[in-house]
Amino acid sequence: MSALHIRDLHHRYGLTEVLSHIQLDLFAGETLALVGPSGCGKSTLLHIIAGLLTPSEGTVEQDFLGTACVFQEPRLLPWKTAQDNITLGLKALNVPKSARQQQARHIANMLGLTVDDLGKYPHELSGGMQSRIALGRALIIQPDLLLLDEPFSALDIGLKLELYTLLRQHITERGTGVLMITHDLMEAVRLADRIVMMVPDPGRLVGELVIEHPHAERTDAWIYKTTADLMTNNNVRIGFGLAQGTLDLPEHAHKQHSGCNI
């Protein structure tokens, strides 16, 4: 089974330590949500996993066959059409043009985009449509590891639910491993198999919640109740800055987060 293993990872910007003692595992078919306040190092950790940054210390090992990233900003190439943006990865893989176009039309249909939309440039598209194209660009290469940095945060609830369904379908069909960063606990409860809490100064992992409830049975009522229960947890409230106090953690929890609960 493909997996990602991070061991004793530290990262610094100059003299400032932004990540400390990070230990993390992610396996194929599993969705892990990393939650925490702004500035705690979540995006830095994702960039390290993606290979965009080299950690100051520690190891990152993974044997997934393909990796794709979706960021909060769509990051589309402004001089290329929606179709060409979606098929960038396929072009890099030397997929013939006709096959690229066919796959683009297929995934555009899944994303609720029309053939006319595929011919438009990013400045002609709404923010929601640009986000859909960015997700399509990642999914079209059928990655075994998908890294999501709050790609749904600027979308309305209806579009979010549509893309959640598409994402879950992709995960189920391909056994994709997913690491998602989110500020939205409800989003984490809806999509994740594990939720890991991160706190700042320096960024470290302090607790984990395993969600064993089957995805197919996660009704809106269950999601709302589970999220509300999480929001009453003292560690969660302190971690998000909603309450004052000291995190109630087992000894050495910052090094052995998998042994403690949120």
The pLDDT tens digits for 177-206 are 999 999 889 999 999 999 999 988 899 998
User: CA-CA distance, 84 to 246, in Å (whole number)?
Assistant: 50
Model confidence band, residue 252 (pLDDT cutoffs 50, 70, 90): very low
* Per-residue confidence (pLDDT) for residue 84, from 0 to 100: 95
The total of other beta-carbon atoms located within 10 Å of residue 128's CB is: 17
Q: Record the pTM.
A: 0.87
Dump pLDDT digits (tens) for 47-86: 999 999 999 999 999 999 889 999 888 899 999 999 999 9
The four Cα atoms 219, 180, 238, 40 give a dihedral, to 10 degrees, of -170
Handedness of CA 195, 249, 237, 39 (dihedral sign): negative
CA distance 248 to 224: 25
CA–CA separation, 32 and 178 (whole Å)? 6
Give 85-91's long-range contacts (Cβ < 8 A, gap of 24+).
Answer: 85/122, 85/133, 85/134, 85/137, 86/118, 86/133, 86/136, 86/137, 86/140, 87/137, 87/140, 88/137, 89/137, 89/138, 89/140, 89/141, 90/140, 90/141
Give residue-wise pLDDT tens across range 201-243: 899 998 899 999 999 999 999 999 999 998 888 778 777 777 7
pLDDT for position 248:
66
Helix extents (H) in 175-244: 185-191, 220-231, 234-239
Round to the nearest angstrom and report the end-to-end CA distance of the chain: 27
139-163 pLDDT tens trace = 999 999 999 998 888 778 888 888 8
Neighbours of 44 (CB within 10 A): 18
3-class SS of residue 14: coil
